[in-house]
Amino acid sequence: MIAAISEFANRLLGRGEAAITVPSFDGALKPNQALEQADILFECEAPEDVATDGTSLLIADGVRLIRLSGNSATTVRTFERPISALACLPHGGLAVALGGTEVRLYDNTAAETPATAFSQGLHAVNALAPAADGTLIATDGSSLRGVDDWARDLMELGRNGRVLRLDPKTGAVTQLAGGLGYAFGTVASDGDLLVSESWRHRVISIAPDGSRKDLLRHLPVYPSRLSPARGGGFWLTAFAARTQLVEFVLREPAYRRRMIAEIAPEFWVAPRLRSGDSFKEPLQGAHIKTMGVMKPWAPPRSYGLVIRLGADGLPRTSLHSRADGVNHGIAAAVEFGGDLVMIAKGPGRIIKLPLASLGEEARA
C-alpha cells in the first residue's frame, strides 16, 4: 500500500523511479572527439561484429564474413542470414550467430559444415564469447524481439534478456542468467562473466554459482559488447547514449504505445545508431543549428563511445564521437596489433585508432 502510494507520488512529482536524470559524462567519461580522428579501415553496408584470431581481423557485414589482413579485404564466406554475432575460438575455430536465432561453430573459417549448431531457445543472440572451460557464452538480448528490433524492446521496457552457456561437447544450452534488460555483450574475467545490461545501463558480473553483482552502474549510455584489453581490463562499447527525452518517454506509457503503433521506427523518440538523415526524426531544442553549427553538447540521438575499463571493472578513459560527429553506434571494439579496431554501425565503417595514441590510461 505504502509502496503503491509512494510510487504514485513519484510519478506525479517526477521523483525516484520516475526521475529522468541521466548522469553526466564526467571523470573518465569526459567527452573528447577521439573517435572522429580515427582512420577508416574499411567501409561496408552493415557491419555488425568484429573478432580477431591474432593474425587477421574477421568482420561480419550483413550475410558476409570478411577477412581483413593488411589493407586487403576478402569475403571468406556468405551465410543465408545476416550474422548477428561473431567470435574466434581458440585453436582457429569460429563461432557465428545467424539472425540471432542460431549459433554455429566451425572448426576453422573455411570449414564447409558446422561442427556444432545450436538453435533451440535462441531468439536474439547478439554477442558470443569463448569461456575458459571450452564452452561458448552467448547473450540473448530479448526473447520477444529480434536482434534488429532492439529499439522496440527498449520502448517496451524489455526485461527478458538472457545469458546462455552453449556446450559444444554435449550440445546443451544452459541459462546462466535471465530477466535482464537487454543483455548485449559478454567477456570472461577470472572465472566470472561480465555482461552488459543495456536497458539498465550497467555492467554486471556473474559468478560461477550464478550470483550477480553490479560492476558498473548508472552509466549515461547503453553499454554493449565487451572485449579483453591487453595489460588487463576490457574495452566496453556503448552503441547509444541516454538522453533525458528518451528517459522521459520511457516513463510515458501512453505516448510510447501510440508512437510504436503510429510512427515508423526510424522516427521514434528512441536512441538510434545514426541520426540526422531525415527531418522527420525528432528534434530537440539544442539540435537547432545556430549560426550554421549544431553544438556537440546537444542531446545525442546517436553517439559513439568506447570505454576502457580497468581490471577492476572501473572506467579508466573513453573515446567519444559526440552529437555533431559521424562515427556513431560503436557496437564492437577489439585490439588488433597495435590498434584498437572498432565497428561504427552508424556510418557503416570499420575504424581504427593506434593504441599508442590513446594515452597511459588506455594501455594499463
Partner 1 sequence: MRETLTRLRYRYWPDHLLGEILSKRWTETAIPVILLLIVGFALSRSLEHFLSPASLADTARQAGEIGFIGLGMALVVIVGGIDLSVGSIFALSDFCALYLLDVLNWPVPAVVVVTMIVGGLLGAVNGVLIGYLRLRAFITTLITLIIYRSAYDLLIQRYSNAIASAFPDIPSWDFIGGGTVLGIPSVALVYIVIAIFGHIFLTRLRPGWHITAIGGSRRSAYNSGIPVRRTIALCYVASGVLTSIGALFFAARLGTVGGDIGVGLEVIVLTATVLGGITLGGGKGSVVKSMVGVLIVLLVTNGLTAMNARGGVNRMALASILLVAAMVDIRWQKNRTRIISKVYVAPTYHALPPPPPTEIGKGGPFEQNDRLRDVSLIGLGRIEAPEDVILDRNDVLYAGSRHGDIVRFFPPDYERMEVFAHIGGQPLGMAFDKEDNLYVCIGGMGLYRIKPDGTVEKATDETNRSIYSVNDDSRLRLADDLDITDDGLIFFSEATVRYEMDEWPVDGLEARGNGRIICYDTKTGTTHTALRGLKFPNGVAVASDGQSILFAETFGCSIKRYWFAGPKKGAVEIVMDNLPGYPDNINLASDGNYWLALVGMRSPSLDLAWKMPGFRRRMAKRVPVDEWLFPNINTGCVVKFNEQGKILESFWDLKGLNHPMITSMREHRGYLYLGGIANNRIGRFKLDNADPNFVQYDKRWGKSS
Residue type, 283: L
- If the CB atoms of residues 178 and 282 are measured against partner 1, the closer one turns out to be 282
Instruction: Tell me how far apart the 2 most distant CA atoms of the chain are, in Å.
Output: 65
Q: Which is nearer to partner 1, 230 or 295 (CB)?
A: 295
Minimum CB distance to partner 1 smaller for 283 or for 314: 283
SS3 state at 204: strand
We find the least distance from the C-beta atom of residue 145 to partner 1, in angstroms, to be 20
For the bound state, the minimum distance from the C-beta of residue 156 to partner 1, rounded and expressed in Å, comes to 17
Nearer to partner 1, 172 or 283 (CB): 283
CB of 7 to partner 1, least distance (A): 16
Q: What is the closest distance, in whole angstroms, from the C-beta atom of residue 268 to partner 1 in the complex?
A: 7
Q: Closest distance between partner 1 and the C-beta of residue 93, in Å? A: 45
Q: Which residues of 195-205 are buried (b: 16+ CB within 10 A; e: fewer)?
A: bbbbbbbbbbb
Contact assessment for residue 325 and residue 33, using Cβ atoms and an 8 Å cutoff: yes
Q: Which is closer to partner 1, CB of 213 or CB of 280?
A: 280
Q: Is 10 helix (H, G, I), strand (E, B) or coil?
A: helix
Toward partner 1, which CB reaches closer, 86 or 241?
241
CB 152 → partner 1: shortest distance, Å? 15
Alpha helices in 114-243 (DSSP H): 150-155
Closer by beta carbon to partner 1, 123 or else 287: 287
Spatial CA neighbour of 151 closest among 249, 77, 38, 82: 249
The footprint of partner 1 (CB under 8 A) covers 14, 20, 243-245, 248, 252, 254-255, 258-259, 262-264, 267-269, 279-292, 294, 298-299
CB 186 within 8 A of CB 144: no
Residue type, 196: S
3-class SS at 60?
A: strand
Indicate the burial class of 61 (C-beta count within 10 angstroms; 0-12, 13-18, 19 or more).
buried
CB of 220 to partner 1, least distance (A): 13
The sheet with strand 304-309 has its strands ordered as: 221-228, 234-241, 304-309, 315-321
Reduced to 3 states, what is the DSSP secondary structure of residue 307?
Answer: strand
